[in-house]
Amino acid sequence: SIKDNSQISYAFYEESMRVALILENEIENRMEKALASGEFEVYLQPKYLFSDEQIIGAEALVRWNDPERGMLPPNEFIPLFEKNGFVKKIDTYMFEAVCKLLAKWQKEMDQLTNMIISVNFSRLHLENMLLPEELLAITNRYQIDPKMIEIELTEGTIFNNDVQMVEIMNHLKDFGFHISIDDFGRAYSSLNTLKNLPADILKLDKAFFSESTDNARGEKIITSMLNMAKDLDLITVAEGVETREQVEFLKEKGCDIAQGFFYAKPMNVFEFEDLVKEKLKSA
């Protein structure tokens, strides 16, 4: 009967909730140790200039190299870490790892000295007024110019009427860090919200490109966003570029930078270093 069925599905629901909670508990018990023992790794996804297809930098994306479960993508742990606050430690760890890397490139690898690397920062950091000073202290320790680093903040979590948030962003900018608005268009694509934000880079969400090139309205939206971004002096990055057609279209419409599987997937640091060196050799 219907009643029996709903009881069964409720039992299933309860059971899967229980399993999910046990899993969350297990992860929470292990995350500190995992961080201390270096299980979190920096992956880099190259960014290319549309104009000449040169690699100008990369986005740092976290991976959890779990000895038992293998290489885990961020969607399997970042949402939980956002809930319990651990994401702040992960982000800071990634930031420091990137500084270390940039310092190494400055000392040992001529070809990689002009790279700009972006790091994702959860909105939880934007409650910490000391964030800019804390990050500057890290760049100073590694003797890195903040101009080599871009802080990615996700659109849906930034509010231009939040005085404290805007002040933190202003300080970051004053220190020389680049600031980008990530996943732009996913939450509420209003460039008006950017009016008072000190961002200098706009990353258009990959959802825009999923079906846009064969869709006239989608094309118009992208075109007008690129035009408005240019009026606001924002550099534009297209995320999730997967096809030749998307590349042709975005290039023609004046988008500045491409990041997507069409060019390259996220890769480990050594693969990235080799890719840049190879590319310069063949140029």
Which residues contact ligand C2E by CB under 6 A?
45, 61-62, 73-75, 78, 87, 90-91, 94, 120, 122, 152, 182-183, 206, 239-242, 259-261, 266
Q: Which does 212 bind (CB under 5 to 8 A by kind): Mg ion, ligand C2E, none?
A: none
Largest Cα–Cα separation, the chain: 72
SS3 119: strand
Cα dist from 170 to 135, 145, 178, 202, whole Å: 14, 17, 11, 16
Q: Which of 91, 150, 155, 182 binds Mg ion (CB under 5 A)?
A: 182
Query: Nearer Cβ to Mg ion, position 91 or 182?
Result: 182
As a whole number of Å, the CA-based R_g of the chain is 21
CB of 262 to ligand C2E, least distance (A): 6
Interaction of residue 91 with Mg ion, rule CB under 5 A: no
Residue 122 identity (one-letter amino acid) = S
What is the spatial distance between Cα 3 and Cα 19, in angstroms, rounded to a whole number?
24
CB of 149 to ligand C2E, least distance (A): 13
CB of 251 to Mg ion, least distance (A): 20
Kind and range of the H or E element at 184? Answer: strand 178-184
For residues 27-66, which are near Mg ion according to CB under 5 A? none
Query: Nearer Cβ to ligand C2E, position 62 or 194?
Result: 62
What is the spatial distance between Cα 220 and Cα 226, in angstroms, rounded to a whole number?
10
Query: Nearer Cβ to ligand C2E, position 100 or 111?
Result: 100
**Closest by Cα among 64, 29, 44 to 259:** 44
Site string for Mg ion, 152-181 (x = CB under 5 A): x-x---------------------------
Q: Which does 5 bind (CB under 5 to 8 A by kind): Mg ion, ligand C2E, none?
A: none
SS3 93: helix
DSSP state of 68: T
What is the spatial distance between Cα 62 and Cα 113, in angstroms, rounded to a whole number?
22
From the list 83-91, 120-128, 216-224, 230-238, the region that binds Mg ion by CB under 5 A is 120-128
The residues of the shown chain that bind Mg ion, judged by CB under 5 A, are 120, 152, 154, 182-183, 239
